[in-house]
Amino acid sequence: MHAITHPLPARQLKGDLAVWILILSELLVFGLFFLGYAVAARRHPALFEAGQATLDTGAATLNTLALLAASAVVVMAIERLERQRTREAGRLLALAALLGSLFLVNKALELHHHLALGITLSTSLFHMFYLGLVSFHFMHVLAGVIVLSWVARRCLRDTPPELNTVWSAGAYWHMVDLVWVVLFPLVYLL
Amino acid sequence: MKYQSQKVARLYFMAAIGLFTGQILFGLILGLQYVIGDFLFPAVPFNVARMVHTNLLIVWLLFGFMGAAYYLVPEEAERELFSPKLAVALFWIFLVAGALTILGYLLVPYSGLARLTGNDLLPTMGREFLEQPTITKLGIVVVALGFLYNIGMTILSGRKTVINMVLLTGLVGLAVLFLFAFYNPDNLVKDKYYWWWVVHLWVEGVWELILGSILAFVLVKVTGVDREVIEKWLYVIIAMTLITGIIGTGHHYYWIGTPGYWQWLGSVFSALEPIPFFMMTVFAFNMINKRRLNHPNKAAVLWAEGTAVMAFLGAGVWGFMHTLAPVNYYTHGTQITAAHGHMAFYGAYAMIVLTIISYAWPILRGEKAANQRAQVLEMWSFWLMTVSMVFITLFLTGAGVLQTWLQRYTDDPLPFMVVQEKIAPFYWMREAAGVVFLIGLLVYLYAFVARGKPAEDATAA
């Protein structure tokens, strides 16, 4: 038997350390917000229940499906890219960005509906949380869609970014998705 | 140095250090007035000393930022400065305007200064940190515009690096937000609301971009780590700064008559403001550990590390201590704020200016680093100033905790002045630490003398 001359490769982080720190920080921001929401909802159960009753659960469910589907498509795209099937990956990423955009349009309509009713951050504690959380998350989806579109464009032109960059972009998108998966039941259902 | 026009930075750095010295002297006067109320009265009343102390701070930091920009922008853009002459002219305008303003504070009663400078035509005076006569404010705008034009033309027609673009964004933001200094509504709530757009969005917003880009520049130079790696960190730090810092303005809106939701928004977002500072610490040490070269300027590396640590402690940790609305309800405007202010300004902004001066000064003299002795002296001054600032902060924190307790939290709160007498021992200890800081500053100044004449034949990289 030969001695092992090549040690196992050191465990490598998929994606950038800096982006991972960003993702963890963002989760912390949302986590604090969720915690605040939970505390406030506990203290004013009637107010929060009444507020939730005015939300459109159907539209939000559709949005949840769009984001989950987009995440799944991103996974498929990265798997294609790892096997050098760049254009295929590009098409999938474009689809993911499209699903993300669907979320944005749907959410914009929902927000417009509420704002047209004269609801502001000052309307009630529930509405402060609802508008705050939803619009803050909206900005993140928007950023995610821009990132996905950029990666998709590069792939479709056969000049993909480094795999590490794509992993980072994918991780960011999954974070956006993950936050919604907590936000949706917390604000709309529970 | 690579480009001749970088030399204008020297003027700015000299002015910055001179005004820094003035700031510290007034700090010591002010510290003594906390315990000996009529010290130097009526020549220098407390409110005037305070105004001079804080205004000098802002002005010397602005000189430092401009000097940093004049030094690093040509090097990053790989071309000479658009107009070195304009840079020199603006330097003198700014210095003379600044000196006249400070003399005005010291020689004329403030209301007289307001009358003298025609404040009633466009009233902007009388607000903390924005005490400058309207005409000085207009001068600042002119200088800022000329400066941005000069820097902008250099950047846009040269190599565009992330460091330059982030710096430019920060500087443009600084200038644009300053315009709110001219908005002075009668409604006190609105007045304070927009006043924070200058004060908070400067130090917890755009100034952080300036800080990040200067730190990144120095790290590129002293570590030799790939620019791409450093730029990526810069992007992430800036994203987090803006995400937390902009809505984090809300932590100033708790008790000034703004809507109640600010207590939630301000608490949540500003609680996370330490994150970008923490990232900066991880970033700086990560890069220094991965360094590909051992730069001979050890002092500059020490300043860079110091900035990363002290900014996190002063701005991050000490800011977090009193940023949550339920805590701030008791601590608002106590010595806790002063403690945070001291360590944050020193750790983040004073130290980053001292970092770039430490790095650039030898190169501007035609050598890569100062001689051994001068560097040792500079590092002594680093430790003297930094450790004494830690003590100033700890003593003020002690004073603040006691003040909060006695004046706000107990069942039988004591009047303000009674409490001030009780916390006097902390003020005395703070003053002692301040004296050590001054000694550190004198060592710092002496380190410049100890550099001797620049080597004639030295060719700097």
> Could you tell me the end-to-end alpha-carbon distance of chain B, in angstroms, rounded to an integer?
6
Kindly list the residues from chain A whose CB atom is less than 8 angstroms away from the CB atom of residue B240. Answer: 22, 25
CB contact under 8 A, A21 and B282: yes
For residue A44, give the 3-state DSSP assignment.
Answer: coil
CA nearest to B233 within chain A: A18
Most B CBs within 10 Å, among A13, A19, A20, A22, to test the B interface: A22
CB-based burial label for B415 (10 Å; 0-12, 13-18, 19+): exposed
Ordered per-residue pLDDT tens for chain B, 461 residues: 899 999 999 999 999 999 999 999 999 999 999 999 999 999 999 999 999 999 999 999 999 999 999 999 999 999 999 999 999 999 999 999 999 999 999 999 999 999 999 999 999 999 999 999 999 999 999 999 999 999 999 999 999 999 999 999 999 999 999 999 999 999 999 999 999 999 999 999 999 999 999 999 999 999 999 999 899 899 989 999 998 999 999 999 999 999 999 999 999 999 999 999 999 999 999 999 999 999 999 999 999 999 999 999 999 999 999 999 999 999 999 999 999 999 999 999 999 999 999 999 999 999 999 999 999 999 999 999 999 999 999 999 999 999 999 999 999 999 999 999 999 999 999 999 999 999 999 999 999 999 988 765 444 44
CA nearest to A18 within chain B: B233
Contact indicator for B351, B214 with CB cutoff of 8 Å: no
* CA pair distance B234, B72, nearest whole angstrom: 16
Tokens 């004269």, residue located: A118
What DSSP line would sit under B95-157, residue for residue? HHHHHHHHHHHHHS-HHHHHHHTTTTTS---SSTT--S-HHHHHHHHHHHHHHHHHHHHHHHT
CB-based burial label for B129 (10 Å; 0-12, 13-18, 19+): middle
Domains along chain A? 17-50+74-189 (1.20.120.80)
* CA pair distance A97, A148, nearest whole angstrom: 6
CB contact under 8 A, B267 and A36: yes
CB-based burial label for B128 (10 Å; 0-12, 13-18, 19+): exposed
Kindly list the residues from chain A whose CB atom is less than 8 angstroms away from the CB atom of residue B271. Answer: 32
Kindly list the residues from chain B whose CB atom is less than 8 angstroms away from the CB atom of residue A40. Answer: 264
CB contact under 8 A, B264 and A132: yes
pLDDT value, residue A16: 83
pLDDT value, residue B105: 96
Name the B residues in 271-310 with CB < 8 Å from any A CB.
271-272, 275, 279, 282-283, 286
Residue type, B158: G
Other CB atoms within 10 Å distance of the CB of residue B330: 15
Contact indicator for A59, A108 with CB cutoff of 8 Å: no
Q: What are the boundaries of each domain within chain B?
A: 1-160
pLDDT value, residue A8: 52
* CA pair distance A125, B133, nearest whole angstrom: 42
> Could you tell me the pTM of the whole model?
0.91
Query: Which of A16, A25, A36 is opposite residue B264, by nearest beta carbon?
Result: A36
* CA pair distance B146, B168, nearest whole angstrom: 13
Can you list the residues of chain A whose pLDDT is less than 70? 1-11
Chain B: give the shortest CA distance to residue A34, in Å.
Answer: 10
